Amino acid sequence: MRRKRRVSPSSVERPPQSTEPGTGTAPATRSGSLAAAPVTRFRSWAAGSLTPAPPGVGPTVPREGSLRSRALRRRRQPSQVHLSAPASASTAAGEEVEPMLEPEETAGSFSPNSPIRVPYLEEYDSNGELCQEPSLFPDPVLIEPYEKAEQEFSDKIAKIRKLPTLDSDTSISPSIIQESAADTIIEASKFVLGLSSYIEWSKGTGIILTTAQLICSTSPCLDEWLGEDKYAPNAEVCVQLLHMDDFKTGTLMYLDKQYGFALFSVLMDEPKRLPCFSNERFAQDVFLLGRYESNLLIGNGKVLSKGAGSYKRHHYMYTDGHISPHGAGGAVINLEGDVTGMITGPKHFIPSSTIQKCLEIWKTYNHVPRIHLGMKLFGIKCLSLVSREKISRNYNIDAGLIVKAVSAESNAEKLGVRMGDIILSVNGEHIATAVELENKLLDISKAQLEKGIGLGSAVDVTLALDVFNTTKCGRGRRLLKAKLSRTEEIIEEGKYPVIYGRPKKPVEKV
């Protein structure tokens, strides 16, 4: 049996040990301790609800000549009221005390708990005298109230330790984030939910924007252009709202495999703040915000002048900051607290310019079609300065899109576009980055839908591409025909067989 005994030194103040007339036992304490036993008695000073003190009992304050006493006298006003507090031993002896006064509005708006006290055992002998040494083998029945009080104290401490101000996740480590930026992060956190997502809201329903990885049923494929990711659209998604224990079930409204985002609806009250979108910029200072198990995840850095590699789709931007993988689907915000993108990985995100165009099309047509080009492209602007200078020196070209790969049997391949060529313009408009190209394609797709040319239409979309052939150093215009599609684009590598031995019949090259 675990026991915690503590003999209180004589110098420590204790509540008065007077007895109630006619009972021979000590009165119950304000915290509601159990009745004392006839032989072994204890007092529990565990925290409890605040109850009024006996009449005439007030808090102990410094004596007349102290600075503290004079300051308290200057603060007293006729309209103030008395708040009761435990009496000290000196108060019980008849020492004159000065009551602590508080304004009426303070007393009415704040209801404090009683102080936290650790229960300790006071053991008395059969003559009612306090034992200096506790018994080695106390009576289990008599010590039961103490054990109960100790358990209540432990339970209360455990509950208090779960408060956001004291829990194990509360960080006291120093922060290098500027004070103004910290305020911006806290304000923006009001729309970052438990899915590491952010929301729109309308008439009791929140539309949650998050990453499609949330319902990806397999490990994400390294090469997104292969289209091998599998999704579980019927998966049960639990949304943790901003309150600690507030969970709701989300319903999938739309899944976009090309751009890698998902939309869920959930019944919820209107949040304190909704996100405002702002365009992204290279070298911009940003913060990465996610949420995991109700805790806010934070990263910070700059937007890099970098484009997607051969394995990532065109619409990504990158930062030199870092955030936990649990932050995927969270918000990238600028120093003003506006959303500039949605996190899709530890260091890359979908920019807000692309997100806004997708949402605008989806709200009108319930899907987001895309034009398949059959090419992987990379902006010259996102190359290193050494590479940009080399291209400028050799080809006299300072901007455009480099062709990283061409899908086999695509219209682009049939038009003669090859790896290493440079797309100078699309429909006469110069495009500097692959993200700008994606936004251009979304604008064209929206224009086609407005004309009534939708999915499955026999009408092709024609794009005029100005192409620079880097092997022959020649320029030319190509008219690329494509259709709108709601599926993700797949880039297939061109292959052909090399024959070993003699087949039964000739094999044609692919």
Residue 475's Cβ-side half-sphere holds a number of Cα atoms within 13 Å equal to 9
pLDDT value for 296: 87
CA dihedral 486, 448, 261, 490 (to 10 degrees): 40
Which residues, at least 6 apart from 218, have a Cβ–Cβ distance to it below 8 Å? 229, 230
pLDDT value for 356: 94
CB 7 within 8 A of CB 135: no
Tens-digit pLDDT string for the chain (510 aa): 444 444 344 333 444 444 444 444 333 333 333 222 233 232 222 333 333 334 444 444 344 443 333 333 333 333 333 332 333 333 444 444 444 444 444 444 445 566 777 888 888 888 888 888 878 887 888 788 888 888 988 998 888 777 655 556 545 455 556 667 777 877 787 777 776 665 667 778 888 899 998 888 888 888 899 999 999 888 888 887 877 677 888 899 999 999 999 999 988 888 788 888 888 888 899 999 998 877 889 999 999 888 888 889 999 999 998 898 888 999 999 999 999 999 998 889 999 999 999 999 999 999 999 999 999 999 988 888 888 898 888 888 888 999 988 999 999 999 989 989 999 999 999 999 999 999 999 999 999 999 888 887 777 899 999 999 888 888 999 999 988 888 899 998 887 776 555 565 665 655
What the block records as the tokens of 244 is: 């600690």
User: Looking at this protein, which amino acid is placed at residue 377?
Assistant: L
CB neighbourhood size of 11 (10 A):
5
pLDDT value for 504: 59
Main-chain phi, psi angles of 73, to 5 degrees = -65, -35
CB 354 within 8 A of CB 436: no
For residue 452, the Cα-to-chain-centroid distance in whole angstroms is: 41
Radius of gyration of the chain (CA): 36
User: Looking at this protein, which amino acid is placed at residue 352?
Assistant: S
Main-chain phi, psi angles of 469, to 5 degrees = -85, 110
b/e map of 289-303 (b: 16 or more CB within 10 Å)? Answer: bbbbebebbbbbbeb
CA dist 305 and 54 (Å) reads: 72
CA dist 331 and 208 (Å) reads: 12
pLDDT value for 177: 66
pLDDT value for 170: 46
Per-position DSSP letters for 209-247, written without gaps between them: EEEGGGGB-SPPPS-GGG----B-TT--EEEE-SSTT-E
CA dist 221 and 330 (Å) reads: 21
